[in-house]
Structures are given as structure tokens and as C-alpha cells.
Amino acid sequence: MVLERPGEPLRPKDAPDPHPSTGQVRIRVRVCGVCRTDVHIVDGELTDPTLPLVPGHQIVGVVEALGDRVDGVAIGDRVGVPWLGWACGKCRYCTTGRQNLCERALFTGYQLDGGYADTAVADARSCLALPDVFSDLQAAPLLCAGTIGFRALRMTGGATRLGFYGFGGAAHILTQVAVAEGRRVFAFTRPGDTATQTFARELGATWAGSSTEAPPSPLDAAILFAAAGELVPRALEAVEAGGTVVCAEIHMSDIPSFPYALLWKERVVRSVANLTWADGREFLAVAARVPVRTQVTTFPLDQANEAITALRGGGVNGAIVLQVAT
């Protein structure tokens, strides 16, 4: 399924299987998660896609061919491919453990063709080994919602009272991790979304309510999994002195002006960008120990447009995954 122009539906296209070049592998795709970033790309809110483009950056599949000079990956391995598809390994970010900020990074399903297809090629370095405890469908949402959400969670330090604004694919995974770590989760949803609030409480959230409400007690930290800039001042109001507000979205609407008093007393607002492959390996090990269980709604590959529409509209608890192989 191919994006030819932003703002238009994806179109089905037949193409020969791609050949892996040096350092690459070809993967027979089994499933591919649908992420809100895919919506931003399709809608033209992220403005640097390589067109025509095969979207999808939560790929689960089996390696079926190797290019030259591939180490650590073998034919027959089940792997996951995340958002960070390639990094130079030489810039000041890559050489200091900040691969997620690589100056020349290329991203799966954005500058590199992704997993809305029967086969995909990927840099062997980006291929993450998947714990056996996870089925293909369970594993797919862990590769972006989980890994980047986990990076955001680490930015909250030792916070024990956590607010999650937006309770979709990432929050439903990270709630399970946070509860397993002994933290208390306060879930904020769209006003009136009682079904999602019930879902959050079922996963162990201490409290669930509307994003327009104040939590019953002050928060140590908050993570915004929603792309709504107006939630930043609300989250600052909810965290106590010294608290951190982490913006975990790659794209967000403008943050409105707010009084300095909301930031004072050493509150912090910060963003999380992308992931390192080390983040992916660390998170998958943590998720297997919990163990995390993802709630998944599936669509066949040829209904990718319907899947994107469903995610865009909200109201789907958990994550959406395309079933590519049948």
C-alpha cells in the first residue's frame, strides 16, 4: 500500500520483491503496526517523506535474504523493525550514545519504505530480536508505541505518580510497565470517553478521567501521548514543584502561551525524539519480564486506509495492526 501524495488515500501496488544491498536484509512481513505517526505522514503534517512511499514502522517478520556484510542476523530469524531505520554511526550524536538524534538519520516508513507490504528491506542494525513470549500481533505495537513510550518513561526519573495524557497504543503498554514498577498511573482521556477510562483502570490505573480535569492528587511527572499542544499547560498545572512534563509525540499542535508561574519552581518541559536501537533491545527485555500484553485491533493489508481512518478518529482501545501474511 503506497502513499503517492500526502492527503490522498494509500493505493495498492504490485512490485517485485526488493533486493537487500550491503548491510541490509529482506524481511517477509507478517504484521505491521499502525502508528499515529503514519497518520501525520499520510495527512502531510510531517513534510519530508520520500515519495512514493510504503508507510509502516512497526514491522514484524522473518528474514529471508541477506545482503553483503550482514552480522548478527540470519535467514529465518524473526525480527522487528522500528522507526529509526538507519543512522550514520559517525556524527557527534551517534558517537555519544544519542543515535536517536543522528544528523543523517533515515526513518522507516518515512524516508525508507516500510511494512505496509509483503516484503521489506531493512538495515540489519535496526532489526530487533523479538522475545518468544510475544506473538506477532502482540509484538508489533511494542516497536514504536512501546519503545518510544519507554524512552519517555525513563525521562520521568523516579516519579511515582505519573499522568498519561492520551490513552492509546503507547499509554496502554506503559501503564503495564509503570504498575509493574510500583508506580501509580493517572490516565487522562478525551472528555466523555468513559470506555477508555474503564480500559485504563482495568490495566491498573489508579485514576482515569478527562484531560480537562485535575487529578485527585498532584503528579510527579506527566507524559503527553496526545498531539495536542494545549495539554502542556494543563499538565504543568497537574505536576507539583520539580515535576517533569514529557512530550512524546513527533508532531504536536502549537503550545499556547501560559503564565510563567506554571513553569516556576523547577518544573521542566521536554520532548522525546525517536529511539536508539539500544532502547528497543532494553524495552523488549523489560516488556517480556512484565509481561506486557497489548490489546490489538486488526485490519488486512488492503484495508490500510480504513485502519488509518480508525486511528485518526480515536475510539479504538489499544493498538491497530495490519495483518499482512495470512
According to the model, what pLDDT value does residue 71 have?
92
Q: What is the rounded average pLDDT for all residues in the chain? A: 96
Which pTM value belongs to this model? 0.93
Is 18 a member of any domain? no
Q: How many CA atoms lie within 13 A of 28 on its CB side?
A: 10
- Tally of structural domains, the chain: 2
Is 282 a member of any domain? no
Strand, coil or helix: what is 26? strand
Is 286 a member of any domain? no
Q: Looking at the structure, tell me whether residues 256 and 310 fall in a common domain.
A: no
Is 184 a member of any domain? yes
Q: Looking at the structure, tell me whether residues 103 and 203 fall in a common domain.
A: no
First-to-last CA distance in the chain?
16
pLDDT tens digit sequence for 262-274: 999 999 999 999 9
Q: Looking at the structure, tell me whether residues 176 and 263 fall in a common domain.
A: yes
Q: Looking at the structure, tell me whether residues 122 and 187 fall in a common domain.
A: no
Q: Looking at the structure, tell me whether residues 201 and 251 fall in a common domain.
A: yes
Domain that holds residue 178: 156-271
CA distances (Å), 38 to each of 83, 94, 325, in order?
A: 11, 25, 20
According to the model, what pLDDT value does residue 276 have?
96
- pLDDT of residue 277 exceeding 80, the answer is yes
DSSP-H helix ranges across the chain: 36-42, 136-139, 145-154, 169-180, 194-202, 231-238, 277-289, 304-313
Q: Looking at the structure, tell me whether residues 31 and 124 fall in a common domain.
A: yes
Is 136 a member of any domain? yes
- pLDDT of residue 313 exceeding 90, the answer is no
Pairwise CA distance, residues 191 & 189, whole Å:
6
- pLDDT of residue 284 exceeding 90, the answer is yes
Q: What is the CATH number of the domain that holds 62?
A: 3.90.180.10
According to the model, what pLDDT value does residue 326 have?
78
Is 4 a member of any domain? no
Please give the average per-residue pLDDT across 173-187, as a whole number.
Answer: 97
Q: What is the CATH number of the domain that holds 201?
A: 3.40.50.720
Please give the average per-residue pLDDT across 242-257, as a whole number.
Answer: 96
Q: Looking at the structure, tell me whether residues 168 and 263 fall in a common domain.
A: yes
Is 61 a member of any domain? yes
Is 289 a member of any domain? no
**302 φ, ψ (degrees, to nearest 5):** -70, -5
Length of the chain in terms of residues written:
326
**How confident is residue 314, by pLDDT bands cut at 50, 70 and 90?**
confident
Q: Looking at the structure, tell me whether residues 114 and 182 fall in a common domain.
A: no
- pLDDT of residue 315 exceeding 80, the answer is no
pLDDT tens digit sequence for 90-128: 999 999 999 999 999 999 999 999 999 999 999 999 999
| 108-122, 127-141, 161-175, 310-324: least confidently modelled range | 310-324
